[in-house]
Structure 1
Amino acid sequence: MNIKYIDLIDQTYYFPQEEFTLDEDNLQFHGIPLMSLVEQYGTPLKFTYLPKISRNINRAKEWFAKAIERHKYKGKYIYCYCTKSSHFEYVLHEALKNDIHIETSSAFDINIVNQLKKEGKIKDNTYVICNGFKRDLYIQNIADLINGGHHNCIPVIDNYEEIELLSEAIDKPFNIGIRIASEEEPKFEFYTSRLGIGYRNIVPFYENQIRDNEKVELKMLHFFINTGIRDNAYYWNELLKCMKVYTRLKKICPSLDSLNIGGGFPTKNSLAFEYDYEYMVDEIINQINTACKEADVPVPNIFTEFGSFTVGESGGAIYEVLYQKQQNDREKWNMIDSSFITTLPDSWAINKRFIMLPINRWHDQYERVLLGGLTCDSDDYYNSIQDMNAIYLPKYKRDQPLYIGFFNTGAYQESIGGFGGLQHCLIPTPKHVLIDRNKKGELTTKLFSEQQKASDMLKILGYEEI
C-alpha cells in the first residue's frame, strides 16, 4: 500500500525534477542540501540561490536568439530587469553580470542606478527604462541622470503632462517612449489599465505634442499586459492591436525603432507546471515580423522587462512545524514558526500559490493538513497547493521535527512584506542566507541579514530605550 509521502509525489508528478531531488530522506533544491541549511542557520529562514538568476536571464536570451535567427528578424533583442521585483543589491549585482539593462518605476530607483554606476555595474550605454506615473522627485532624478550624460535613459510617457514636466527639467534633447493603456481581461474589475495612453489616442498624441517638438524624440512604444505573456486569445489579440498602433506610428515617426513587450513570463508554481517558453518567444517574433512585413515597415528592436522570471525562482523560505492542533474531526492545523502574511504576503493578498514541499521525512506516512501562521489574524493560513485543493505532509510527530519549504518566492515578497520594517503582530523578519557557487562549482553560503530583533521594531515605533 502506497502510504508514504514519497509514494504520493511519485504517483502524482514526474519526480525528481531539474531543481528538486532527494538525498535519501531529505529534499535538495538545485543540489543544495536544505537540511544542512536548517542545521547551520535554524528556522525560520529565507534564502536566495544566486546562480538561478543568471540561468534564467541566459535562457531567455537563447530563446530570443534562436527565434530571431529562425525568422531572419532584423531587429535586436534587449533584456531588461524590473527592479521592483527585488531591489536588493545582491540581485542587481548578479543580474548585471549578464549584460542586461534595467527598468525602473519610482524616484528612488534612480538613486540605485546612480550607486550602481559609481560601482561600475551600470555603464552610460546601459538602457534605463523609466516607467510609472512621474511626479516631482522622479522627474528630477530622471532629468539629473540624462543631464549627467546617460543618453540611454528612456522615460516612458504615462500621461499627457509628462513631456512638459521632463522638458522643463532636462536641458538637452532626450528620447522617450509611450506606454499603451492596454485593455484588461474580461474578469478584471475595470476595462482599461490606469497606466499609459489609450490605443486610439497615441497617434494624435504624437502629432500634437511630439512630432514638432525639437527637444523630444520618440524611440519606443511600450506594450504591457497585466497578466503577463500567456498563450491565450486575449494576449494575442492585444499584441495584434499593439502592432497596428506601432506600424501606423512608424509610418509617420521615423525615429521610432523599439517595441517594449513588458509583462513577463510566468514562474514555476507547481511540480506539474508546464509552459512552452521557446514556443511563445518564437510566435511573438513571428507575429511582429509578419505584422511589419504586411504594413511594409522595418521591424522594431524588442525590449522585454522580466522581473519575476528573473529573480522569482531563485528564492525560498523554510519553516519548522512547531505544533499540530486538531480543531475538529477533520481539520488538523500544522502551526509554523513564522507568518504567511508577513513572509509570503502574496499568498495572503492575492492568493498566490508557491511550490510547497517537506524538507525531511519523505519516507514517512502522510496526512492532510492546513498550515497556520503565528499571528492572531484568521487570514494567516495556507490551505492548498497549486494543483491540489489540499496540503499533504508527512505525519506530525512531536519527537521528530518536520521542516517545510516554499520555493520560487524570490520576487516581491520582501518589498511587499516590508523587509526590515514593522510586521503584522510584530512577527520578526526571518534571517536571510545567500547561496552561490565558487569557480569550482562548490556551494557557498553567506548570512545576508539576521532575524529582526525587538529593538529594531521598538525604534521604528518610537519607543526610547530605557
Structure 2
Amino acid sequence: MNTKYSDLINQTYEFPQEEFSVENESLKFHNIPLNELVAKYGSPLKFTYLPKISENINRAKLWFANAIEKNKYKGKYNYCYCTKSSHFQHILHEALKNNIHIETSSAFDIDIVEQLKQDGKLHKDAYVICNGFKRTQYIENIARLINSGHSNCIPIIDNYEEIDLLSEEIKDTFKIGIRIASEEEPKFEFYTSRLGIGYKNIVPFYENQIKDNDKVELKMLHFFINTGIRDNAYYWNELVKCLKVYTRLKKICPSLDSLNIGGGFPIKNSLAFEYDYQYMIDEIINQINVACAEADVPVPNIFTEFGSFTVGESGGAIYEILYQKQQNDREKWNMIDSSFITTLPDTWAINKRFIMLPINRWDDEYERVLLGGLTCDSDDYYNSEQNRNAIYLPKYKRDKPLYIGFFNTGAYQETIGGYGGLQHCLIPQPKHILIDKDTDGNLVTTLFNPQQKSEDFLKILGYKKQEKAQEKNKELITA
C-alpha cells in the first residue's frame, strides 16, 4: 500500500509542477531549497521571491501582445500595478523594472509615487491612475502631483463632486477618467458597487459637468469587477454593458481614448488550479474590437490593474508544527508556531485558500489533521487545503520536526495583518526575508525585517514612552 506523503500528492495531482519540486524528501519552490531557508533563518518565516513579480508582469504583457496581433487590434496596452496589494519598496522597485504604470487608492499612495520619482524608479511619463473615494488629503496630493508637471496622473472620478474639488486645487487643465458602478454578482448582499457612477448616469454626467468644462479632459472609462476577470456569464454580461457605455460616450467625447478593464486575474491557490489566461485576453480584445466596429468608433487603448496577479505568487510563509493535540477520536490538531489570524488574515476573514505543502519528510507516512494557531481565539485555525476539506501531512513525530509552507501569499496579507504593528494576542510578526537572483543567476537572501520583540509591542502600547515625551504631548482641556 502506498502510504508516503509523496505518493498521495503524485496520485492526486500532476506533480512536480512549474514552481514546485521535491529533492531528497524536501520541497523546492522556484528551485529555492526551503529546508535550507529554515535551517538558516528558523521559523516562523515569511519570504518574498522577487523575480516572480517580473515574470508575471511579462507573462501578461506577452498574452496581450499576442491577442492584439491575433485580432489586429489598433489600440495599445498598458500594465498598471495596484499598490494596495503590497506597498513595500522592494515590491514597487521590482515591478517598476518592467516599464509599467501605477494605480493608487488613497492619499499616502501619492507620497510613495513622489518618492519613487525622486529615486528615479518611476518615469515622469508613467501613468498614475488614482482610484478610490477622494477625501481632502487625497485631492490635495493628487493636485500636488499634477501641479508639479506629472500630466499623466489621471484621477478616476468616483462621485459627482470630485471634479469641482479637483478643479479648485489643480492650476491648469487636467485629465480624468470615470469609474462605472458595475452591478455585483447575484450572491452579493447588494446590487451595485458603492464605487463609481451608474451605467445610466455616465453620459448625462459627462454632458452636464465635463463637456463644456475647458479645464477637464475625459480620457478614460474605468470598468472594475470585484470578483476579477473570470470566464462566467456575469463577467461577460458586465463587459458588454461597459462597452455600450464606452461606444456611446466616445461618439460625443473625442478625447476619450482609453478603457481600463480593471479587475484582476486569479492566482494559483491549488495544485489543481487551471485558468486559460491567453483565451480570456483573446476574447476580451475580440469583444472590444467587435463592439467598436459595430458602433463605428475607434478602439480604445487598454489599461489593466493587476495587484494580486503581480505580487501574490511571490510570497510564502513557513511554520513549524510544534505539537499535536488529539482532542477526540477523530480530530488531531497540529499546532503551528504562529497565528493564522495575524500572519495569513485572509484565511480567517474571507476563508481564502492558499497552497499548503510540507517542507520536509515527503517520504514519511501521512495522516489527516487540522491546523491550529497559537492565539487563544477559537477562529485561529486552517482546515481546508486545495480543493478538499481535509488536510493531510506527514505524521507528527516529536523527535522529527515537521515544517509546512503556505504559498502565493504575497498580496494583502501584510497590510491587512497590520505589518509591524500590534498583533492579536501579541503574537509577534515573523521575520521576513527577500529572495532575489544575482547577475549570475544565483539565489541571494536578505533579511528585510527581524521578528518583532516585546519592546516593539510595549512601545506601541505606551509602556515604553519617555516621561518627557508624555509630558510634552499632554494638552489641557478647558470647559
Instruction: Tell me which interval the TM-score lies in, with the shorter structure as reference length.
Output: over 0.9
Match of 1:253 in 2: 253
Give the TM-score taking structure 1 as reference length: 1.00
Amino acid corresponding to residue 145 of structure 2 in structure 1: L
Once the two structures are TM-superposed, the CA of residue 384 in structure 1 deviates from its matched residue by 1.0
Instruction: Note the C-alpha offset of 1:386.
Output: 2.7
Pairs within 5 Å for 1:170-181: 170-181=170-181
Corresponding residue of 1:280: 280
Distance 1:77 1:464 in 2: 52
Give the CA deviation at 1:407.
Answer: 0.0
**C-alpha distance in 1, partners of 2:279/2:412?**
27
1:234 matched residue in structure 2: 234
Query: Which residue of structure 2 aligns with residue 403 of structure 1?
Result: 403
The aligned residue for residue 124 of structure 2 is: 124
Please state how far the C-alpha of 1:458 moved relative to its aligned partner.
Answer: 0.7
Alignment match, 2:477: none
Query: In the aligned structure 2, how far is the partner of 1:142 from the partner of 1:15?
Result: 48
SS in 1 for 2:405: strand
The letter for the 2-side match of 1:273 is: F
Write the mapping of 1:60-99 to structure 2, written as runs, cut at 5 A. Answer: 60-99=60-99
Amino acid at match of 1:303: F
Task: Please tell me whether the aligned partners of residues 434 and 445 of structure 2 are also in contact (alpha carbons under 8 angstroms).
Answer: yes
Q: Secondary structure at the match of 1:181?
A: coil
- Size of the aligned set, in residue pairs, is 466
Which residue number in structure 2 is paired with residue 412 of structure 1?
412
Q: Distance in 2 between matches of 1:435 and 1:20?
A: 16
Secondary structure at 1:209 match in 2? helix
Q: Could you tell me which residue of structure 1 aligns to residue 423 of structure 2?
A: 423
Q: State the alpha-carbon separation in 1 of the partners of residues 136 and 150 from structure 2.
A: 20
Q: How does 1:360-379 map to 2 (within 5 A)?
A: 360-379=360-379
Q: Is the 8 A contact 2:356 2:386 kept in 1?
A: no
Tell me the distance in 2 between the aligned counterparts of 1:209 and 1:229. 31
Q: 1:20-62 CA deviation, whole Å, 9 max, x = no partner?
A: 0001200000000000000000000000000000000000000
Looking at structure 1, the residues matched to 345 and 358 of structure 2 have their Cα atoms a distance apart, in angstroms, of 20
2:23 aligned with 1:48? no
Aligned-partner Cα distance in 2 for 1:123–1:408? 29
Aligned to 1:293: 293
1:113 aligns with 2:127: no
Kindly state the Cα deviation for residue 124 of structure 1 after the two structures are TM-superposed.
1.4
Residue in structure 2 matched with residue 460 of structure 1 by the alignment = 460
> What SS is found at the alignment partner of 2:346?
helix
Tell me which amino acid in the other structure corresponds to 1:10.
N
Tell me the distance in 2 between the aligned counterparts of 1:133 and 1:167.
Answer: 16
Contact between 2:368 and 2:391, CA under 8 Å: does it hold in 1?
yes
Task: Quote the residue 2:353 is aligned against.
Answer: 353
Instruction: Provide the C-alpha distance between the structure 2 equivalents of 1:190 and 1:362, rounded to a whole number of angstroms.
Output: 46
**2: CA distance between counterparts of 1:291 and 1:215?**
30
Q: Is the 8 A contact 2:455 2:464 kept in 1?
A: no
Matches for 1:262-281 after TM superposition, within 5 Å: 262-281=262-281
| Matched residue type, 2:123 | K
1:13-24 → structure 2 map (5 Å cutoff): 13-24=13-24
| Partner in structure 2 of residue 139 of structure 1 | 139
- Identity among equivalent positions (%) equals 82
SS in 2 for 1:251: helix
CA–CA distance in 2 between the matches of 1:430 and 1:270?
A: 24
Q: 2: CA distance between counterparts of 1:16 and 1:154?
A: 44
The aligned residue for residue 308 of structure 2 is 308
**Equivalent position amino acid for 1:228 in 2:** G
TM alignment of 1:196-215, pairs within 5 A: 196-215=196-215
Q: Which amino acid aligns with 1:229?
A: I
- 2:46 is aligned with what amino acid? K
AA aligned to 2:64 is F
Unaligned 5+ segments in structure 1 are: none
TM-score (norm. length: structure 2): 0.97
Which position in structure 1 is the counterpart of 2:7? Answer: 7
1:235-275 per-residue CA deviation (whole Å, 9 max, x = no partner) reads 00000000000000000000000000111000000000000
In the TM superposition, residue 465 of structure 1 has moved relative to its aligned partner by: 6.3
Counterpart CA distance in 2 for 1:8 and 1:461 is: 47
Tell me which stretches of 4 or more aligned residues in structure 1 moved more than 3 Å: none
State whether residues 336 and 372 of structure 2, in contact with CA within 8 Å, keep that contact through their aligned partners in structure 1: yes
CA-to-aligned-CA distance 1:308-366 (integer Å, 9 cap, x gap): 00000000000000000000000000000000000000000000000000000000000
Change (3 A) 1:148 1:465: closer
* Counterpart for residue 152 of structure 1: 152
Which residue is equivalent to 2:329? 329
Deviations 1:110-164 (A, max 9, x none): 0000100000111210000000000100000000000000000000000000000
> Which one-letter code corresponds to 2:293 in the other structure?
K
Distance 2:465 2:200 in 1: 60
Is 1:221 equivalent to 2:224 in the alignment?
no
Whole-angstrom distance in 1 between the partners of 2:276 and 2:2? 33
